[in-house]
Amino acid sequence: MKVGLLVFCLIFGAGVPAAFAQEIRVAPDPGVIAVGLGFKGAVVNISGTAPAQCDIYLKMVSPGRKERLNKKGKVGFLWMNVAQAEVVNVPKMYQIYTSAEIDRLPPSLRKDTGLDGNFAAVHDRATVIVATGGKTKDLPAREGKEYVDALVGLYKKKGLYVVQEKSLFTKEEKGGQSFSALIRIPAEAAYGETTITAYAIRDGRVIGQSESPLIIQPTGVAGWIRKMAKTNGPLYGTYAVFIALLAGLLIDLLFRFFEKLICRLPGIKRE
Amino acid sequence: MEIFLPVAGVQIKTYLIFSLGGVVGMLSGLFGVGGGFLLTPLLMMIGIPPAVAAASDTNQIVAASVSGTLAHGRAGNVDFKLGYIMLLGGLTGGTLGATGVKILRQLGNFDLIVTLVYVVMLLFVGAFMFAESLRALRGKGSADSLAGRPFYLAKSLPGRLFFPVSKIECSVIVLFALGFFIGVMAALMGVGGGFIMLPVMIYLLGIPTHKAVGTSLFTVIFTAVNVTLAQAIINETVDVMLALLLLLGSAVGAQVGARLGRLLKGEQLRIFFSVIVLGVMVKMLHNLLAAPASLIVLGGGH
């Protein structure tokens, strides 16, 4: 068993040499957020334990997704849509909470862990496909930066991309420390399994790392609608049309009923 | 009261959506247009993603147009026979137009040309209708004096039929061709076509204003159903909850609009319509000339 663990550490633990030297644990409460029609966002308590005398850094990242963007530019003296882009593999939610400043981390560690105030990891992983003049092409990271920047800016405004330094509450415990943070998840949060990663960092080195999932899933009517919309478009579209037709008919019936009831509404003018 | 929209993924005030639907539905009932040109940007302004706004807005147009058509129909203001023929042309033109868009985009500057053509057309139609309606209001002739008198080709080409509701005799070929033209234009410009349909019916076909409004609204039902299905299947962006709130408002609004329209004279209706057309034209022109707040925005929308 010990040999197995040692081999496992040698193979997978190279990036985090002291990962198993001391324990760090993290868990969200609640671990599952149900999104119904009355969902207004949620508050999650993320707490855990960590080795003593180290800084704690929390990172919360949702799965990558794609988003379509339009770019405006000047054609002659007119502002027009000049390109359409699809930005792929960008998480909708990327949040960092720490017990110390991010600047204390060496640049290489910031890059490796994704603990970067400028969300550099998002830029590194994103792919940008641009369509212009009927042709599409993949943009290199530097050229695609403006699209990713725009998307990150948009997510920041919605409270989905957050960096809060020294926002973790820590308390010395026997043989270590505990930490916690109350985190506001906005209503526009990404569905799916968001990964919460806690890093224990001392002297610019990761001495412990732990992951825990936070599941955000639509339930009830909201869940049914979303599932139908994403998995059975033709049936969902037919339902949508029938609901609309029925609503139009019902409202007309209601108006006729009230018209007859009152019998005093303006008469029909025929040409 | 607030509600979470599962496909849009945003939380929104229900009364706000209901009111927006009501206002746009009233315009549908009054003028026989879908109203997407107005509703989609308004939805985007309150935080609905553009793709969801455009798709769900089309879904609510189905309800508004059904409700409005029934109200107009009872007043004898829907020419179903004429509407079906123009619709057939419109759907054919729309399908070919959609294919044409792909080809034209590859030629470059397609969006620029289409937008400019659209602005010029709105200016022309709006200004012409405004001037004509103003003359009519001053008692110096009216478009309704054209009623029952379609333009020369419509009367001279073969396949003539009499349309008792509109009280015109017109060639089926011309009706199909006009429907086809509107369908192509609508596909090229990414709009429903109500803006073009109404002036064509009034000024080219000689259909009285109230009947043109009712018949135009009738054709809108089918184009809106078609687009809703396409959006649900291809883009998966129809939010039924959003559409439901909008359509409850718009179906009521369409009934109110249809009744309000009966209280107005044809020229009064036309002058209000022309003001809206000119307003949309000014807004488009402003979008073209003013520097945008952000150069890169979320995609989708009309």
How is B108-158 classified by DSSP, letter by letter? S-HHHHHHHHHHHHHHHHHHHHHHHHHHHHTTS--GGGGTT---HHHHHSS
Mean pLDDT of A144-168: 92
Q: Do A252 and B67 touch (CB under 8 A)?
A: yes
Neighbours of B36 (CB within 10 A): 26
Q: Do A239 and B109 touch (CB under 8 A)?
A: no
Closest CA to B260 of B29, B28, B104, B37: B29
CA distance B251 to A255: 10
CA distance B125 to B272: 13
B211 touches chain A (CB under 8 A): yes
* Interface predicted TM-score of the whole assembly (ipTM), two decimals: 0.82
Instruction: Give A232's contacts (C-beta < 8 A, 6+ positions apart).
Output: none
The order of strands in the sheet holding A25-29 is A25-29, A42-50, A176-185, A169-173
pTM: 0.78
Q: List, for residues A220-232, the tens digit of each pLDDT value.
A: 999 999 999 989 9
The two beta strands, B168-171 and A176-185, are unpaired
Give me A83's structure tokens: 């390109």
Q: Considering only the beta carbons, identify the residue of B4, B51, B209 that sits closest to A38.
A: B4
Q: Do B239 and A187 touch (CB under 8 A)?
A: no
What is chain B's alpha carbon radius of gyration, rounded to the nearest angstrom? 19
Amino acid at B159: G
| 3-class SS of residue B21 | helix
Neighbours of B92 (CB within 10 A): 15
Q: Considering only the beta carbons, identify the residue of A37, A78, A271 that sits closest to B288.
A: A78
Q: Do A237 and B231 touch (CB under 8 A)?
A: yes
pLDDT > 50? residue A9: no
Question: A with B: how many residue pairs have Cβ under 8 Å apart?
Answer: 212
Q: Do A35 and B288 touch (CB under 8 A)?
A: no
| 3-class SS of residue B71 | helix
pLDDT tens-digit profile, chain B (302 residues): 889 999 988 889 999 999 999 988 888 888 877 777 778 888 888 888 888 888 888 888 888 889 889 989 988 999 999 999 999 998 888 888 777 776 776 666 667 777 788 888 889 888 988 988 888 888 766 555 666 666 767 777 888 888 888 888 888 999 999 889 888 877 777 666 777 888 888 888 888 888 998 999 898 888 888 888 888 888 788 899 999 999 888 888 888 988 888 888 888 888 888 898 898 889 888 888 988 888 888 876 55
Tell the burial category of A207 from Cβ atoms under 10 Å away from its Cβ (0-12, 13-18, 19+): buried
Tell the burial category of B102 from Cβ atoms under 10 Å away from its Cβ (0-12, 13-18, 19+): exposed
CA distance B62 to A65: 31
Tell me how close the Cα of A231 comes to any Cα of chain B, in angstroms.
9
Q: List, for residues A46-74, the tens digit of each pLDDT value.
A: 999 999 989 999 999 999 888 889 888 88
Amino acid at B169: E
- The 10 Å CB-count burial string (b at 16+, else e) for B14-33 is eeebbebbbbbbbbbbbbbb
Contact A147, A69 (CB under 8 A): yes
> CA A5 → CA A8, A14, A24, A189, A212, distances in Å?
5, 13, 17, 37, 21
For residue A265, the 8-state DSSP code is S
| CA angle centred on A186, ends A185 and A192, rounded to 5° | 65
Amino acid at A116: D
DSSP alpha helix (H) spans, A172-270: 220-231, 233-262
B285 touches chain A (CB under 8 A): no
* Residue A245 with chain B: CB contacts under 8 Å: 62-63, 66
